[in-house]
Structure 1
């Protein structure tokens, strides 16, 4: 229904500008057998392992990435991926609920509930797909771990699902998984169940070692990026308070969550489930909670983060933890309803549930009074279904058993969501109206040489779509062209580089960036240092005209942009940009991860070799000395007369590489040990 209401619902914001192009670029590398972890020509977006969310070591992401090359329509493909991930999430929630004792029909409601929470529906599913991927794998990891500790299966599935969660590179699910492991270890230790304490410790160590492989490169890279922060503060951006959560039972409620949209969120971002008042209908639910210690702990932990500071070092947007809270609540409701919903609901209990719904609706109206019609509709709909559980005579057969009552509430959940879908058809995040055809995107740069950079307000392209996208693309959609581009999306901007070009995360720059690129005060321009061959200048404020092209460049004026091309194309970025001092060198070989050059001669005062690469942490050399970066961001090597006549190789490995390799090996050893221990105990 959401797709019928908004066909691009699942192809929105970061899925347009980030995920799809990223998948396509990764698919290119996998299909061509290119295992490199670095792309010099992508500049600040090319440190893939440090970026994290590329899923370089994640087989599920590999499958998604390769699939982009099979379907030409990006909207259709992305929609299929998102729907499948939602089904995985629903399945995971169903399995967790069953593992804690829920009946199949109530577990089915848990699955639907987990997949329809506000954060999932309006942020993760439309835009932040790694968040959706993470919570899906978390649900399956939780189930697999619970089954393992209950002695019903080995650690194999947890090892797989936990690996897929961690290697997705989205830290919020890793935080939740770490808490789950710690909480389960403590729970089993309190019960003096030392066998299972050992099991948790083994799989926990395995998970921690995989985490080192994925996250240590980003942590060690952060000092040169804009993510180098240890501040803890609350700017109220994408976190919630208790007042927001009090409205979470109303499907059409909007509240005061601050975000990109301002101070009042325009969608039900805090929505959890309309079934929250169902707990009032159930008898003896307190006894049920004794078996639900772990889901309650996950809920409390998640809510604590959601209402906590909005910035904790590099971690931002705590509303991203809401899907885990929704998952926990879905499990709790399913188990409590299984154990405590009577065959005949007393009217006083039903009216109590209606009263709770009305109170939540009142708070929703108070937060945004203009939404009163939609809030009232939700109260009436939701309250009516609670009252239906008290039905007599002809309607009684509908709810005459727990199975039938669950069936009614399952259908009711779909009906309750209809007003939400009608009123709030899309995510509150941006729609950039990018093309959906892969072949059309590839045509944009078909005749251009690699080494592409956009200058100006690339976001203005959406205003003239689709015609504007025949002249330029933006962010990670450049990967679809198969041409190296410096204007790709990054979550880890290299601070000195981004400041020099006043570039943002998605490739937009200030107008002054054009002058910075072609300033030849140092005999060589930044465009030369970056090995650029194509510069797309987006017309707009400050870029109404660009004047005479620099020497060696030609300019073509088009309707929305100027296309600047180098008359004699140069090799792509990654090689030697220039030398300084009395030094002469010649390149012997080069690839994305290394450069080998011969030192032909060096004067008495020595010299420097400047590379067309960012000076990421992790570079080593077998000759010369790595110096302070030229321009503040270009990799630079100082050489002396002693280096004359030598071949010198400069190599990139992610910082902490030896520790990461050791951690990967250790994770494999621990995984084998966990399996061996399981087999040994099963044979005893």
Structure 2
């Protein structure tokens, strides 16, 4: 089965892996009407943001700020949007070519799954896994489990980052790393970290550190030097994607100390039980919630097969053994973290990287060491299999048929694995994996824990917003209404106003401005509460204006739940239009302020000269001076000059941009220079220097033969010393 060239073999095995996965993916696409990868957060923010950014990039514009989107206006500060990530530039430009968001989301997710599968295959080929085993690893790592049923449909940055994790493993597994391998390790590290998903970044760190430990244990310290230089280079090049956020962290909602409310903190028994292949393995977070996540078959055989593996006595001398084992143990511990560790929330998000590494580790061991049967080993294997089945059934007893079918398939696969000859074992697991994944696709055409908000899929459907497309608007809606019906009326969830000619004045990102989010009691996907009306009607003491006016909300589009309170507390906003569950209220006299100015003192004359996203220029005529307020949400990095002289920019009530002018006429310029620009430039330069150093060191070591060829998986005799 070995083509003459390693690349040809990799391509063949990847094609087999993708061919096996195509059947269940087609079933998922048909069963979900194409919406499988268009759910929850992707439907509320990521798809719209990626499409908008892609269109802007196509026009040669990097959209750092989107005026009138309120707390969600600063796209640069959310690293998950990838404004500084060339991989996401390509992704977003390609995604913007789709007129259907669901179809585009499906294609985008499958693209990253293909990349992940190809990386897992390449990793196993480099570890010298024999026969068809790498194809099994590619299939098991990418096309099932937590990544497909949870991360892919909702948290796209998680999938985009995990897709590069196997490529880091591939680069780490080079027997004689040269300059190109060092640069490939830098590139894979950058792509993994720049996707903005911290859980994969930490997982990549565990992978690299485990590899460095392996190099020291096996007297390959020079390899460790190259790895350290190359991965540090990738991390430094990716750092700007988070340095801007870090520079403004005190102003974001991403704060807090270590705390634990048990939400999405999986029980250890349940994490281990994801190694049991069922169509509905469950992660139980201490009674708080139960998350149904279909998982992989090849990795799912772990519990049953570990007792049967013929592990060599000197297993730690095998290239990759310590790397894989150390990473698995580290990720297992991380799944038991507190529910909030600073800005990191919900440790069950480590399950994606854990399952990928688990699949690669198991397949690598099976490919070389094989199995060794004794009565004691078989008894332990059967006991673990039954224990895992018991835990699974006890979690969701209402789904017994699914668990019984899965147990039968797993048991039959394990039995065939030990009965058939070695050359057919990989194909047995692959066939079982396809069967279990098709079954899961039929039974679970969508993750029941991920909501479909009912947003339209056609981009053209967002062109008729309620309120006649007013730019200076504010949209208020409570949690858990019928968002599909709201969209039909022209009111869109979260960041979907980026697809519309209107702006919501609110929106939703994962990195909201702390004070305004609190004032407006903004929650997930832009939901708000009755306290928001109280805030909008309250008077800001410096300006004497109500907050609705300071936010520039000449038009308020509100769910009828809020309308009685709005009419009572903001009588100057009158009903202009009603549509189903929503009402449009407009400021009776309108606003005569130019640009994004929302308040100026009496007698001050202001003319907008050039009002852009990052720079605003106004001509001001005032004999008394005073404070001017803007609708721009305050972030560190705003600067102002008056007649060319710097003046302070003050956060009005810690929420909005404001300046205080002297008593004279002149030109006012407000500019946003994102905080963190200097450190980001330094980090980029350091990254390039480290990458060059890694390439030079690796090239010299390769020429001088200083990188010894240690044991690899197929160089250890099967069952040696077992």
TM-score, normalization by structure 2: 0.84
Task: Name structure 2 gaps, 5 residues minimum.
Answer: 1-26, 705-722
Given that residues 476 and 558 in structure 2 are in contact (C-alpha distance below 8 angstroms), is that contact kept between their aligned partners in structure 1? yes
User: Which residue of the other structure, out of 654, 667, 679, is the alignment partner of 2:687?
Assistant: 667
Matches within 5 A, 1:73-88: 73-88=100-115
Given that residues 116 and 162 in structure 2 are in contact (C-alpha distance below 8 angstroms), is that contact kept between their aligned partners in structure 1? yes
Given that residues 252 and 374 in structure 1 are in contact (C-alpha distance below 8 angstroms), is that contact kept between their aligned partners in structure 2? yes
**Stretch of structure 1 that moved more, 489-498 or 348-357:** 348-357
Instruction: Give the Cα separation in 2 of the matches to 1:482 and 1:469.
Output: 16
1:379-428: per-residue Cα shift (whole Å, max 9, x none)? Answer: 2221122222354xxxxxxx32x231110110011212344334433221
Matches within 5 A, 1:427-438: 427=447, 428-438=449-459
**Stretch of structure 1 that moved more, 321-330 or 494-503:** 494-503
1:257-298: per-residue Cα shift (whole Å, max 9, x none)? Answer: 239x94333444799833212233332356555421101111
Cα distance 1:286–1:76, how it changes in 2: closer, same or farther (>3 A)?
A: farther
Instruction: Give the Cα separation in 2 of the matches to 1:624 and 1:67.
Output: 42
Instruction: Give the Cα separation in 2 of the matches to 1:518 and 1:541.
Output: 13
Matching residue of 2:247: 220
Tell whether 2:136 aligns with 1:109.
Answer: yes
Q: SS where residue 160 of structure 1 aligns?
A: helix
Cα distance 1:649–1:194, how it changes in 2: closer, same or farther (>3 A)?
A: farther
Given that residues 489 and 580 in structure 2 are in contact (C-alpha distance below 8 angstroms), is that contact kept between their aligned partners in structure 1? no
Given that residues 478 and 527 in structure 2 are in contact (C-alpha distance below 8 angstroms), is that contact kept between their aligned partners in structure 1? yes
Tell whether 2:158 aligns with 1:135.
Answer: no
Instruction: Give the Cα separation in 1 of the matches to 2:423 and 2:502.
Output: 57
Matching residue of 1:655: 675
Given that residues 350 and 390 in structure 1 are in contact (C-alpha distance below 8 angstroms), is that contact kept between their aligned partners in structure 2? no
Cα distance 1:65–1:438, how it changes in 2: closer, same or farther (>3 A)?
A: same
Matching residue of 1:461: 482
**Root mean square deviation of aligned Cα:** 3.2
How much has 1:191 moved relative to structure 2?
Answer: 4.4
Larger RCO: Structure 1 or Structure 2 (Cα < 8 Å, ≥ 6 residues apart)? 2
Cα distance 1:60–1:211, how it changes in 2: closer, same or farther (>3 A)?
A: closer
Matching residue of 1:236: 262
Cα distance 1:481–1:146, how it changes in 2: closer, same or farther (>3 A)?
A: same
Cα distance 1:412–1:289, how it changes in 2: closer, same or farther (>3 A)?
A: farther
Instruction: Give the Cα separation in 2 of the matches to 1:571 and 1:345.
Output: 84
Cα distance 1:290–1:355, how it changes in 2: closer, same or farther (>3 A)?
A: farther
How much has 1:445 moved relative to structure 2?
Answer: 6.0
Tell whether 2:549 aligns with 1:528.
Answer: yes
Matches within 5 A, 1:506-585: 506-514=525-533, 516-517=535-536, 524-540=545-561, 546=567, 551=572, 555-565=576-586, 575-580=596-601
Matches within 5 A, 1:239-388: 239-248=265-274, 249-255=276-282, 257-258=284-285, 262-268=288-294, 273-276=299-302, 277-284=304-311, 287-288=314-315, 290-291=317-318, 292-341=321-370, 352-388=380-416
Instruction: Give the Cα separation in 1 of the matches to 2:559 and 2:306.
Output: 56
Instruction: Give the Cα separation in 1 of the matches to 2:391 and 2:251.
Output: 45
Matching residue of 2:56: 29
User: Which residue of the other structure, out of 78, 91, 100, is the alignment partner of 1:51?
Assistant: 78
Matching residue of 1:626: 648
User: Which residue of the other structure, out of 622, 626, 645, is the alignment partner of 1:607?
Assistant: 626
Matching residue of 2:710: none
1:147-183: per-residue Cα shift (whole Å, max 9, x none)? Answer: 3864494323223222222221111122122333333
Cα distance 1:451–1:519, how it changes in 2: closer, same or farther (>3 A)?
A: same
Matching residue of 2:227: 200
Given that residues 456 and 511 in structure 1 are in contact (C-alpha distance below 8 angstroms), is that contact kept between their aligned partners in structure 2? no
Q: SS where residue 622 of structure 2 aligns?
A: strand
Given that residues 118 and 269 in structure 1 are in contact (C-alpha distance below 8 angstroms), is that contact kept between their aligned partners in structure 2? yes
Cα distance 1:552–1:545, how it changes in 2: closer, same or farther (>3 A)?
A: closer
Instruction: Give the Cα separation in 1 of the matches to 2:467 and 2:188.
Output: 40
